[in-house]
Chain A
Amino acid sequence: MPENISIRIDGEYVAAQEGQTILEVARAGGKYIPTLCWLAGISSVGACRLCIVEVSGVGRLLPACTTPVQDGMSVTTTSEKLTQYRRIAIEFLFSERNHVCAVCVSNNHCELQAMAQKLGVTSVRYPYAYPKLGVDVSHPRYVLDHNRCILCTRCVRVCTEVEGAHVWDVSGRGIRSMIVCDMNRPWAQASSCTNCGKCVQVCPTGALAEKGFAVDEMVKQDHNMTRLTARRGGHS
């Protein structure tokens, strides 16, 4: 049995169990912490840094989705400083790739766009990189548009952990990181892909989409995936 411990979130005492993350404890207590790469039912990787929180006595900000709770920990989830850093994280995501919401399949149904609005981002202070990136349209049903990818790795994790196919990986480092398919082949040639579409449904942006949808039309159904993992007894 995991040990029961007590931590403070924004001043309030909450019961927690050893092994839980700050995010899990906060969510269970009805506290909202913004997230983007995190998804119920799959592992947490701490890729997007949206969920950063302040922990007293710790000099740097920590991602709530990967930081385990410790007895007596005191966590702050909302502050001027956190909002500033969360905005910066969002603005970097926009500046690193080519996001043109007005002509994107995911316009108005996109988690990145919605998070920018929620956090009050009305412009991007960093110069846009305008990288030259490809679009993989080889798969008969799905499209991967690297221009819209935020490297959250939800696709990688869902395909490996839930579908068991492990089609996706991340290649390269830093700004050159890219989502790659089956050792960097066109998607249609990925013999391991079962065409299940889970990666498409959990992708928070317009990077993975079904074919045949126009601007504004791609509405993701990630709750199906979450329900599936919950039924299989995974954490949610």
Chain B
Amino acid sequence: MKKVRLATVWLDGCSGCHMSLLDIDEAILAIAKRVDVVYGPLVDAQEFPKAVDVTLIEGAVSSQDDLEKVHTIRRWSKLVVALGDCAVTGNVPSMRNSHPARKMLERIYVEGVQTNRGVPVDGVPALLRQAVPVHEVIKVDLHIPGCPPAPASIAYALGELLEGRMPDLASKVKFG
């Protein structure tokens, strides 16, 4: 059987969703047999590959880099899944949204420190005005809320997707 090409992406999130993904116990064995993980923090690939069946996105779209990434992901992925509250609602990263990004950075990197004051600019992508959920930027095919989503929800959703079905998560998952 042809393996399903799976990508996972870590945007503005804490990696908790990836931890939850690894926390699905023995279900991971069955899933691992049926997928090729072609991109993500768990593998080496540098470039987002050109034909992906399912991409799981953790994290809000928060920087210029995130923005470019999600467009690339949408372009080359058959199915895009928003994994976890940051990707689904903006969650904690979006708590900065009621204030200008510049002010937040100054508060943290200038007012908030004693030494090496200054907002970092080299090697870090510029922040967007607001950190937003993935579906405010690209079409998302499935939302798995939760902070992090319960391992059982992830296992169920992946299991269904691998069977070629769209999982019905209504009432099985919650925000927070």
Contacts and interface: CB of A to CB of B under 8 A. Distances in A.
Nearest to B84: A102
B24 interface: no
A125 B112 CA distance: 36
Contact of A122 (B97, B132, B136, B170): B170
A116 interface: yes
B174 A102 contact: no
Interface string B140-167: 1001110100000000000000000000
A107 interface: yes
Interface stretch (B46-54, B72-80, B86-94): B86-94
A132 B103 CA distance: 14
Contact of B98 (A101, A116, A133): A133
Contacts of A74: none
Interface string B52-89: 00000000000000000000000000000010010011
Contacts of A133: 98
Contacts, number: 75
Nearest to B171: A120
A118 B90 contact: no
Nearest to A107: B176
**Which has the most chain A C-beta neighbours within 10 Å: B89, B92, B97?**
B89
A108 interface: yes
Nearest to A83: B170
Interface string A89-119: 0000010001111111001100001101111
B4 interface: no
B94 A132 contact: no
Interface residues of B, number: 29
A133 B99 CA distance: 11
A123 B94 contact: no
Contacts of A131: 98
Given A117-B174, A120-B170, A123-B143, A98 B98 contact: yes
B176 A104 contact: yes
* Interface range, A side: 20 to 34
B127 interface: no
A101 B82 contact: no
Nearest to B175: A101
Interface in B118-143: 130, 132-133, 135-136, 140, 143
A103 B85 CA distance: 11
Given A98-B95, A117-B171, A131-B98, A123 B176 contact: no
A228 interface: no
A122 B169 contact: yes
B128 to A, nearest CB: 13
B127 to A, nearest CB: 15
B110 interface: no
Given A102-B176, A113-B176, A130-B130, A122 B143 contact: yes
Contact of B176 (A101, A127, A128): A101
A123 B169 contact: no
Given A123-B135, A123-B143, A99 B130 contact: no
A114 B147 CA distance: 15
A228 B175 CA distance: 32
A124 interface: yes
B27 interface: no
15 contacts: A100-B91, A101-B85, A101-B176, A102-B92, A102-B147, A102-B176, A108-B176, A114-B174, A122-B143, A122-B145, A123-B133, A123-B140, A125-B135, A132-B98, A132-B99
Given A113-B175, A113-B176, A118-B171, 20 more contacts: A98-B94, A98-B95, A101-B175, A101-B176, A102-B85, A102-B91, A102-B92, A102-B147, A117-B173, A120-B170, A122-B170, A122-B173, A124-B89, A125-B135, A127-B136, A128-B94, A128-B97, A130-B98, A131-B98, A132-B99
